Every structure is written in C-alpha cells, then in structure tokens.
Structure 1
Amino acid sequence: MVLNTLFYTIIGILLLQFLLETLLKSLNAKRYNDPIPEELDDVFDKEAYQKAQEYKKTNHRFGILRSSFSLVLTLVFLIFGGFEWVDRLVRQVTEAPIGMALLFFGTILLGSSLLTLPFSYYATFYIEDKFGFNKATKSLFFIDQLKTWIMSLIIGAAILPLVMLFYRWAGQHFWIYAWSLIAVFSILMNLFYSKLIVPLFNKQSPLGEGTLKNDIEHYAQKVGFDLKNIFVIDGSKRSTKANAYFSGFGKEKRVTLYDTLISDLEEKEIVAVLAHEVGHYKRKHIVFNMLLSLVLTALTLFVLSLFINNPQVSLAIGVTRPSFHAALVGFAILYSPISELTGLFMNHLSRTFEYQADTYAKDTHGADALVSSLKKLSKNNLSNLTPHPAYVFAYYSHPPLIDRIRNLQRSKKTTDTRIPTS
C-alpha cells in the first residue's frame, strides 16, 4: 500500500474532528446540573427533572462510545488497507468503472450499516425504551432498516452512474450536469417527499372533522394561507416524541402533525405550532434553504471537479490503483472540514429562521400558546434546558428553549390588528 501526504492528512482530519466533537460534548455534559433558568422552572417537576438528567447523561456516554467505535473502525479500515481490499474484490467481479463504483460503495455502505446496526438497536430498545419513548417493535425496527438500505441503494444506483457518465462525457465540466441532476432530484423530493417516501414508513391520514380542524382552517384563512392538506402521521407506532413539519410548496404544500403532538397539546397550542410552520412558509425559509443548499452543492461539486483527476486523492485512502470511486471517498474526507464550516453557517441561519417563525406565530396567534407548547414538548422529550453555548453554536439547528421563550416574551404583541400576509 502506497502512502502519501494526503493519507496522513486524512488521519489528522479524522482525529481532529473526533477530538473537537468529544470536547464539545464534554463541555455540554458539564452543564447538565446547572440551575434551570427562572423562565423554565415550571417545565419539570423534581421527578421529571431527575429523569431528564439521567436521560442526557446516558445519551452522552453512549454517544462517546458510538463515535469512538466509528473512529476506530474508520482508522482500522484506512491503516490496514480495507479500501484496497474492497477495491480488489470488486475488480475481480468487473473492470467497468460504473460497475466497480456501484459494487464498491454498495459493499462499504452495507458493511458499515451492519457493523453500526447494534448501536441503533441498543439506542432504540434499551435507552429509548428505558425512558419510555420507544414504541417500535423489533420486527418494525428491522423492517425500517431494510427499507432504508433498499431505498439508499436504489437512489445511489440511479444517481451515481449518471454522474460518472457526465464525467466521462464532459470531463472537468461534469460538475455542472451533476449539479443539475441533483437540483432536479432535490426539488422533486421536496415536492413529493410526503407522497413518495413517508408512506413507506408511516401511515398518513387527513385530519378529521372537528374543532381542531376548524381552528386550523380559521387561522389559515385569517393569515391568508391557502391550506388544504393537513395530515396526521402515526408517529406513535415508533416513539412517544412529538413533532410537526411543513413540506412542499405551491399546490403540493402540506402540514403534517404527529398523532403524539395532537395527544400531548391542547388545540390552541397545536394551532400555535402550526402558526410557527406557516411562519417558515411566509418568510420564504423553505425556498431560501433549498436555494442555499443547491449553491453549496454546486460549490462542493466544483471543488470536486478540480481534484477528481488527481491520482493522489485516490491513493490517499490506501488503494493502489486510482479510480473515480476511490477519489470520491478521499475527497469526501478531505473536504469535510469545509463541510463543517458550511454546516456551522447553515445551523446559525436555521436558528435565525426559527426565531423569525416564532415571531410570526406570536404576531398572528399570540405568544402564550406557543410558549406553553414548547415547554410541554421539551418536558415530554426530556430536552436539555441548559446546553453549553459552544455546543449550541456547533450542532443546534433550533435555538435552546430558554432563548426561544425570551425572544417570544421580549416584546408584547403589537396592538396593530393587521395580520401579515407575506
């Protein structure tokens, strides 16, 4: 196995990322026993607070173990020629570049999934079960895993060959065509995710007639929001944790409420959660996030096009024969520090958008119902009420509960009775 400077650079990147992640997790863990802010002293009673503390500590220890295993597995694979072994194995089957790439990534992803499966199983049936969250059966768990693997293989087998064909046809300019393909795929997924992907895992039903639907429709009409698709998803078959999300745009837009959300919150609180989701739509967050994601994808593919022909990028993962698929793996690791930086920016932007959506909900529905819903959801999910600022900065896509409440209570609802419509 020929080792080059980039090989040791990859080792350094992996070690540095692990150390930084572990440091941030440790800093966050030191805040677990901090006093709860006065604004949140009604979230947990004594028993629930102790349970939340234990849940956080258990997940912290398990997270360190899981990330350590992942690091060791990756380092062993690199240092002892794991990528070279897989590369030779697939070359015994075919020398066709596309065939080799599909077998190479399929073998690695399947092997990685099998090796990390016990961690997912333990997290679901020991940790989540111990703290009363898990509702999934073992058969459902394994069926979900199988569906996920099959779906990943199908998507990968559809996109990767096209990207490689673009590369062979357009050379260094392949990134333009690859980006166009990914852009179309991303837009279609955003439009039809709820119709195509969600039904593979969950049952969705239109929200039934009643006061909740009437309240939601009344609110939507008040703010000038055309909402005809309100669905309830059976999230309770896997977990007691509650959620709601907005997907699609135009005629395909829909709001999906978890059945656990409906059972946990009062109707006015559910409408407040919906108002928050409408705020995202009204403030164009969904479109902006998609456009920004596509810009970052274009940047990544452009940089890839500059290095894909450099054999050293392939050799950096320990293979002896350069190839497109080996270069993709090497580039992904070498580019990861830049991905981390763009991830920080995206998380910051996401937190900003959450504040804006909260403010929209406050201005159109009032702050009290949203505050009480956020507190209930935090209690039911055993959320961390005192996260470390550095950990929030690095990993949180939503602001901590205390910051969201302070934002909502910063100023009283305006006396202007007009409702924003854009």
Structure 2
Amino acid sequence: MTGHRRVALVVLLLAGGAFALLTLLLVPWDPVPGARPPAAPADSVFTADQLARAEAYSSAARSWGRTSLVVSLGVSLVLGFTRLGRRLVARLPGPWWVAVPLAVVAVLLVGRLATLPFSALGRIESLRYGLTEQGWAAWGVDVLVSFTVQSVATSLALLVLLGVRRRLPTAWPAAAAGLMAALVLAASFAYPVVVEPLRNTFTSLPDGPLRTEILDVARQEGIAVDDVLVSDASRRTTTLNAYVSGFGGTRRVVVYDTLVGGLPTREVVSVVAHELAHARHDDVLVGSVLGAAGAAAGAGLLGLLLPGRRRGEDDDEVSDELALVPRVLALLAVATLLATPVQSTISRQVELRADVDALCVTRDPEAFERLQAMLATRSLSDPEPAGWSQVVFGTHPTALERIGLARGLDCG
C-alpha cells in the first residue's frame, strides 16, 4: 500500500468511527415515551378518493424521479469510468485551478441535460394535480440557479481536494478530510444567508395573535427567537411547509406563506412548535457535524480509490487533474446513493422527536392530526409507501405514522 493510501485508510477508520460514535450519541434512537403507537388506519384519515388521488400522483412522481436518478447515476458512471469523461474535459483551457471548475461544470451539465426531460415530466404532473402554479420561465430560472449553486459548491470542493493532492502527495487525504469537514460546517452556517435568498424572499411574520402564540411556544421550549420569517414559497408551490436552517447567528425559523394564509392558527402553531423543537435540540448543527464527519470519511475513501501524485511531477500539468474530475464525481454519486438510507434513517428519528416535542408542548393532538392530514392531502404524498422505499428515501415518518403518534402519545 502506497503512502497516501496508508494515510487514507487511517483517515477513513478514524472519521468513520467518529461518525458512528456521534450517530450513536447524538441521534434520538428512542424519542417516544413508552411504546411507539401504531400508524393510524388509512381509511380513518383519508377518503377513498383522496387515497386514489395521492397514489396516482405519487406513482407518477416516483416513476419520473427514480428514472431521473438511474439516468443521472448512469451518466456519472459512464463519464467517470470510460474514456468519454476524459475526452469531454481533455481540451479545457487554463491553469488547473481554472480548468477544474470548467470540467466540473461540463460534467454536471451533461448529467443535468440528461435528466432535464424527467424533471420537466415530473413538473407536468405537479401542474396537472395543482401542486404548482409557477410558469415555465420561472421554473427554468430556478433550475439555472440550482445548477449554478451546485456547480460552485462542487467546484470549490474539487479545488480543495485536488489542490491538497498537488501539494501534499502523501498526506493529502488527511488534509482534505479536515478541509472538507470545515467546508460542510461553513456551508451549513452560511446557507440561510447566502443561498436561500437566491430562491425566495423573506419577510417577518406580522404582529398579531399568530406571532404572539408562536413566540409563547418558543418561550415554553426555552428557545430564544427574535423573529419568525415567512417565505414567498407560493410562487413555486401550493404545498404547506416550514423549516429551520442554519445554526448560531444564522439560525432561522421559516414558514411558507401558503401555511400562514391557508391554515387555522392552531395548526400553524403546531407546525412551528415542530420546527422550534429542531432549534431546541440544535438538529441543524448536529446534522452538520455528522455531515462533516461523513465528508472526512469520504475524503479517506477517495484517498484509497484515487491514484497518488508523485513528488516532482510538473505542477503546470493539468491533464491528471482534469481526468480525475469525472472519476471523483462518479464516486461521489455512488457514495451519495449508498449513504441515502443512513441519512434517511437518521432524519426520520430526528423528525419523530420533533413531533413528540410539538405534541407535548402544544397539548393539542387534534390540531396536530388535522395538520398532518392537510399536509398529506395538499402535497399528495403517499400515505402508505412501500417499506423499502420508506427505509431508503423516507426522511420523515409517514402521515399515518404521525397521526397514530398524535392519537396514542402519552406526554405524562
């Protein structure tokens, strides 16, 4: 085993062990007091027509989404492990720090163009079922903004990775692990104030009974909240949602304008209580720390899989770096897919704890149940997805699991 691979193996073992330990200690594996209540029967929540409509939309959305996933992965593998990827980036101009971002954009653009028809078909389904009223031009702008953000973030990561590989031929996996972990934390911190404003406009929730009740819930949960923001999400979706992003000085609680204008006060308070529970437990920070450990482990794994760079190799030679870009992106695509069940499992546990906290703080299970039924009805989410699908892709408990929790939870 070469020098850089020995370093990479140590990094992988240490970072992987840190991720496992942090997951064991920080993830709420048993968040429900007592026995977890069973899921509510579907026919006790939804009508037959609602179930049929949700299944019809979910089936179409899954079809296009998973086809897009397969095509995206296939394109990544072809470009990463055949000569096509090398040919695509071989003639890009400039020094390595210019050519590498150009190569990233070229590879990502091929993948995005390959999956764009499936995204468009999925959007047609959303239009047909009334889940969006956004025009095609605005949708195209959103696609362009998302692609730009992805390209910039990926280019920065590749520049860090390949830069330390050039300067530290033996120790680069360790240096890359530290820098990649730092990038994950920095990105999570900056995302609410750098990226989110590119897609939405935020305003403060106006003074009134709703704001007063929300701040009262925050005080009950022991959370210092200076403001609650409203996102203009209605310009792209009719669904209902809220979220917490950032940590420390950039932490924010955001509700969709569709939520504020479309639900009674008790249901909105239930949503915000759930999000405030995330803030109470620093779930964004915990997720960022786990992501940082995962990124460090990923750097170690890349060190095992990528060839080394010999000392004395011409620093002006960029062909090696360009050839590595499609390979690294393909490996990242595979790693992301393999990590999805782990991420989804952790997310479901965190979301379950937030549900428990919201129910116990508001003491309003009826509002929580009505909320979950409305969320599922408006988004046409599948109330009973296949077991394997929920394990791999389900980031939240299903609507029926959440309603069953509201019906059976004993907060004491």
The answer, yes or no, to whether TM exceeds 0.5 is: yes
Is the contact between residue 181 and residue 293 of structure 2 (CA under 8 Å) also seen in structure 1?
no
In structure 1, the residue matched to 2:86 is 84
Is the contact between residue 172 and residue 305 of structure 1 (CA under 8 Å) also seen in structure 2?
no
Letter in 2 for 1:239: T
Distance 2:275 2:81 in 1: 47
CA RMSD of aligned residues (A): 2.7
In structure 2, the residue matched to 1:109 is 108
Is the contact between residue 200 and residue 233 of structure 2 (CA under 8 Å) also seen in structure 1?
yes
Secondary structure of the residue aligned to 1:246 is: strand
In structure 2, the residue matched to 1:53 is 55
**What are the within-5 Å matches in structure 2 for residues 17-166 of structure 1?**
39-63=41-65, 65-67=67-69, 69-70=71-72, 73=75, 81-90=83-92, 93-94=93-94, 96-124=95-123, 126-166=124-164
Q: Can you list the C-alpha shifts for 1:193-245, whole angstroms capped at 9, x where unaligned? A: 22221111111100011110011011112222111121000110001011100
Describe the shift of the 1:297–1:262 C-alpha distance in structure 2 as closer, same or farther (beyond 3 A).
Answer: same
Is the contact between residue 231 and residue 254 of structure 2 (CA under 8 Å) also seen in structure 1?
yes
Distance 1:331 1:198 in 2: 27
How many residue pairs get matched? 365
Pick one of 229, 243, 246 that aligns with 1:245: 243
Secondary structure of the residue aligned to 2:91 is: helix
In structure 1, the residue matched to 2:299 is 301
Describe the shift of the 1:291–1:272 C-alpha distance in structure 2 as closer, same or farther (beyond 3 A).
Answer: same
Q: Can you list the C-alpha shifts for 1:29-85, whole angstroms capped at 9, x where unaligned? A: xxxxxxxx7544354334333322221232244345434544665576578742132
Letter in 2 for 1:359: V
Deviation at 1:159, TM superposition (A): 4.0
Distance 1:344 1:137 in 2: 34
Letter in 2 for 1:48: Q
Letter in 1 for 2:107: I
In structure 2, the residue matched to 1:27 is none
| Matching of residue 344 in structure 1 with residue 338 in structure 2 | no
Deviation at 1:331, TM superposition (A): 4.9
Residue identity over aligned pairs, in percent, reads: 23
Deviation at 1:129, TM superposition (A): 0.5
Instruction: Name whichever of 378-387 and 189-198 sits farther off.
Output: 189-198
In structure 2, the residue matched to 1:358 is 355
Letter in 2 for 1:101: V
Pick one of 252, 255, 277 that aligns with 2:253: 255
Letter in 1 for 2:113: L
Secondary structure of the residue aligned to 1:89 is: coil
**TM-score of the two chains, using structure 2 as the length reference:** 0.79
Is the contact between residue 98 and residue 164 of structure 1 (CA under 8 Å) also seen in structure 2?
no
Letter in 1 for 2:342: F
Distance 2:279 2:331 in 1: 36
Q: Can you list the C-alpha shifts for 1:146-169, whole angstroms capped at 9, x where unaligned? A: 222333333344443333222222
Letter in 2 for 1:151: V
Is the contact between residue 90 and residue 322 of structure 2 (CA under 8 Å) also seen in structure 1?
no
Secondary structure of the residue aligned to 2:133 is: coil
In structure 2, the residue matched to 1:372 is 370
Deviation at 1:297, TM superposition (A): 0.7
Q: Can you list the C-alpha shifts for 1:262-311, whole angstroms capped at 9, x where unaligned? A: 23321111111111112222233222211111111111101212332259
Describe the shift of the 1:99–1:229 C-alpha distance in structure 2 as closer, same or farther (beyond 3 A).
Answer: same
Describe the shift of the 1:336–1:151 C-alpha distance in structure 2 as closer, same or farther (beyond 3 A).
Answer: closer
In structure 2, the residue matched to 1:219 is 217
More RCO (CA 8 Å, sep 6+): 2
In structure 1, the residue matched to 2:185 is 187
Letter in 1 for 2:367: A
Letter in 2 for 1:304: L
Is the contact between residue 85 and residue 326 of structure 2 (CA under 8 Å) also seen in structure 1?
no
Deviation at 1:348, TM superposition (A): 1.4
Q: Can you list the C-alpha shifts for 1:337-358, whole angstroms capped at 9, x where unaligned? A: 6554543222212111111111
Q: Unpaired runs of 5+ in structure 2?
A: 1-38, 310-317
In structure 1, the residue matched to 2:323 is 326
Secondary structure of the residue aligned to 1:255 is: strand
Secondary structure of the residue aligned to 1:404 is: helix
| Matching of residue 381 in structure 1 with residue 383 in structure 2 | no
Secondary structure of the residue aligned to 2:230 is: strand
